[in-house]
Amino acid sequence: MTKRLVLPALSAVAIVYALWLALVSSPDVFQGDFVRIMYVHVPSSWLAFLAFGVTALGSALWLWRKTIVWDRIAEASAEIGVVFTALSILTGAIWGEPVWGTYWDWGDARMASTALMLFVYLGYLALRRATPDPVARAKRSSILGLIAVVQVPLVYFSVSFWRTLHQGQTVRPDGIQMDGSMVAALLAGLAAFTLLYLALMVERVRLARIEDENMLSDSVTAGTAITAPDLDGIS
Amino acid sequence: MKDGSGFWTQALTIARRDLMIESRGGEVFGVVLPFAAVAVFVVPLATDALATRLDQLALPVFWLVGLLFGMQVALRQTGTENLAQRRTLALLGIDPAARFAGRSLAAAVLTTGVMVVIAPLVVLFYDPDVIPAVGPSLLAIVGFSVGLSMLSTLAGDVTVGLRTRSSLAPLIVAPISVPLIIGASQTLEALIRDRSTMAPALLLTVTVLSLAVTGVLTAPALEDATT
């Protein structure tokens, strides 16, 4: 029990530290304090990419090894990815209103492609929910998990492929275009969100195992409860 | 290939079978197409036709109807294989990739047919200022139909046998089909505005090829999952 609390406790401490750094870092020359939303927005987006990448990896490993734990990992990661994609869209919209003057802009390739990525993974989760049998579910969803991951590079490179309102990559091979305190807050946010992802993954995979076990025990109970009809006395 | 069981022979046989079933059932041209025509007709009634520039709605309505009814074509009841049919094909040694190619080909032919009939209706009801050249437009429509058919066939196979298939498959297809919509619609826009069609046509081609590769590579795993 104590061991199980280590990762959540570590991630909680890391998140508090990252938020503190986000609050004390320098404001942006142009955006002022609104830039602080970035310290939640960017880690959320990173976490979504990581989560969907792990979903694809889990799907591929399930298809290769047929070990159910890979399917549970794929499912858990997709669920976490969906939550953080939604958070990324939400924080982006909140930031966009004061800085761009709009919550949503259809001309922005990053926004539109991120929303599409969210819908694709909602479809993935809907497919999982529609298939009660764990093995059949794993077989079907692993294929979709591999197809859906194509959205991730599309979203990431959308700011380079299309002319768009969203800013380009700040961290590039030729250097980082940010103040030192902002970089520290951003890196702390990325590390804290990654720890949170690990903590959520461990718990969700454990929960998925319990769900599968319950489903199997339910089917056994239902099976034993059914007895042959008593036809004595019926002519 | 010599014994008639090569990839393309199998694919063409499956496509011919699907088209034959469709010609008997008449689901696409007897039900889906009239429904699509009604959708084209209803949109102006849902807007204030005097205040709205209908000519500006022509292309969006055309592609939207193409997407929604193209999905219906690929997921049509007459094109759905039941478990017994899938198992029979597997036992006969039909290559799952050829099965995917054949089913997609049949759906692409039918979707192209629907869109070719819908196009003049859109011109008639929406009166667009400029009508793009027929040849290149047809290529864009065919590219879109082929891509959409492959995607819908994939989604249909992933969801086969599920009670929620009719709503789940479109949920999977619609967001993933966006590169197809962008590629095809921008190609047509470029033709209308006399701009280079290189970039959108390339996007359409790359998306179609990616779907073809994905469909062929995942076909054996999908067959294993659904038989």
Burial class of residue B192 in the structure, from the number of CB atoms within 10 Å of its CB (0-12 exposed, 13-18 middle, 19+ buried): middle
Query: What distance in Å separates the CA atoms of residue A72 and residue A52, rounded to the nearest whole number?
Result: 13
Residues A121-130 have a mean pLDDT of: 93
pLDDT for res B119: 93
Q: Could you tell me if A111 lies within 8 Å of chain B, comparing CB atoms?
A: no
Location of structure tokens 């529609």: A130
- Whether B32 has a pLDDT exceeding 90, the answer reads yes
Note whether residue A228 is domain-resident.
no
Residues A80-105 have a mean pLDDT of: 92
Cross-chain residue pair A139–B224, CB shorter than 8 Å:
yes
Q: Could you tell me if A116 lies within 8 Å of chain B, comparing CB atoms?
A: yes
Q: How confident is the model at residue B38 (pLDDT cuts 50, 70, 90)?
A: very high
Residue B223: closest CA among B69, B46, B86, B29: B86
Q: How confident is the model at residue B50 (pLDDT cuts 50, 70, 90)?
A: low
pLDDT for res A99: 86
Residues of B in contact with A161 (CB under 8 A): none
pLDDT for res B1: 44
Mean of the per-residue pLDDT values of chain B = 89
Note whether residue A218 is domain-resident.
no
Q: How confident is the model at residue B77 (pLDDT cuts 50, 70, 90)?
A: confident
pLDDT for res A92: 92
Query: What distance in Å separates the CA atoms of residue B67 and residue B30, rounded to the nearest whole number?
Result: 18
pLDDT for res B78: 78
Q: Could you tell me if B176 lies within 8 Å of chain A, comparing CB atoms?
A: yes
Residues of A in contact with B214 (CB under 8 A): 146-147
- Whether B51 has a pLDDT exceeding 90, the answer reads no
Note whether residue A87 is domain-resident.
yes
pLDDT for res A226: 62
Residue type, B185: S
How far B38 CA lies from chain A's nearest CA (Å)? 28
Q: How confident is the model at residue A232 (pLDDT cuts 50, 70, 90)?
A: low
pLDDT for res A231: 64
pLDDT tens digits, A177-217: 677 888 899 999 999 999 999 999 999 999 999 988 887 77
pLDDT for res B166: 85
Residues of B in contact with A63 (CB under 8 A): 221
pLDDT for res A234: 60
| Residue ranges of domains in chain B | 4-226
Mean of the per-residue pLDDT values of chain A = 86
Residues of A in contact with B176 (CB under 8 A): 120, 147-148, 150-151
* DSSP code per residue over A5-36: HHHHHHHHHHHHHHHHHHHHSPPBTTTBGGGG
Q: How confident is the model at residue B55 (pLDDT cuts 50, 70, 90)?
A: confident
Q: Could you tell me if B154 lies within 8 Å of chain A, comparing CB atoms?
A: yes
Among residues of chain B, what percentage have pLDDT more than 70? 96
Residues of A in contact with B162 (CB under 8 A): 127, 130-131
Cross-chain residue pair A123–B171, CB shorter than 8 Å:
yes
Cross-chain residue pair B158–A140, CB shorter than 8 Å:
yes
Which residues form the domain of A197? 46-168+179-209
Q: How confident is the model at residue B144 (pLDDT cuts 50, 70, 90)?
A: very high
pLDDT for res A207: 94
Q: How many CB atoms lie within 10 A of CB B185?
A: 20
Residues B82-107 have a mean pLDDT of: 91
How much helix, strand and coil, in percent to the nearest 5, is found in chain A?
80, 5, 20
- Total number of domains in chain A: 1
Cross-chain residue pair B221–A127, CB shorter than 8 Å:
no
pLDDT for res A30: 78
Q: Could you tell me if B162 lies within 8 Å of chain A, comparing CB atoms?
A: yes
Cross-chain residue pair A142–B175, CB shorter than 8 Å:
no
Query: What distance in Å separates the CA atoms of residue A14 and residue A34, rounded to the nearest whole number?
Result: 22
Residues of B in contact with A136 (CB under 8 A): 225
pLDDT for res A215: 75
Note whether residue A214 is domain-resident.
no
Q: How many CB atoms lie within 10 A of CB B11?
A: 22
Burial class of residue B217 in the structure, from the number of CB atoms within 10 Å of its CB (0-12 exposed, 13-18 middle, 19+ buried): middle
Residues of A in contact with B171 (CB under 8 A): 119, 122-123, 126
Among residues of chain A, what percentage have pLDDT more than 70? 84
Q: How confident is the model at residue B2 (pLDDT cuts 50, 70, 90)?
A: very low
Residue B173: closest CA among B74, B98, B87: B74
pLDDT for res A49: 95
Cross-chain residue pair B225–A140, CB shorter than 8 Å:
yes
- Tell me which DSSP letter residue B164 carries: T
pLDDT for res A218: 64
Q: How confident is the model at residue B35 (pLDDT cuts 50, 70, 90)?
A: very high
* Optimal mutation site among A125, A140, A160, interface B, most CBs of chain B within 10 A: A140
pLDDT tens digits, A141-163: 999 999 899 888 888 887 776 66
Q: Could you tell me if B206 lies within 8 Å of chain A, comparing CB atoms?
A: no
* Nearby residues of B86 by Cβ (< 8 Å), 6 or more positions away: B160, B223, B226, B227
The number of C-alpha atoms within 13 Å of B124 and in the hemisphere containing its C-beta is: 8
Comparison of pLDDT for A100 and A189, the residue scoring more: A189
pLDDT for res B164: 86
> What ipTM was estimated for this complex?
0.79
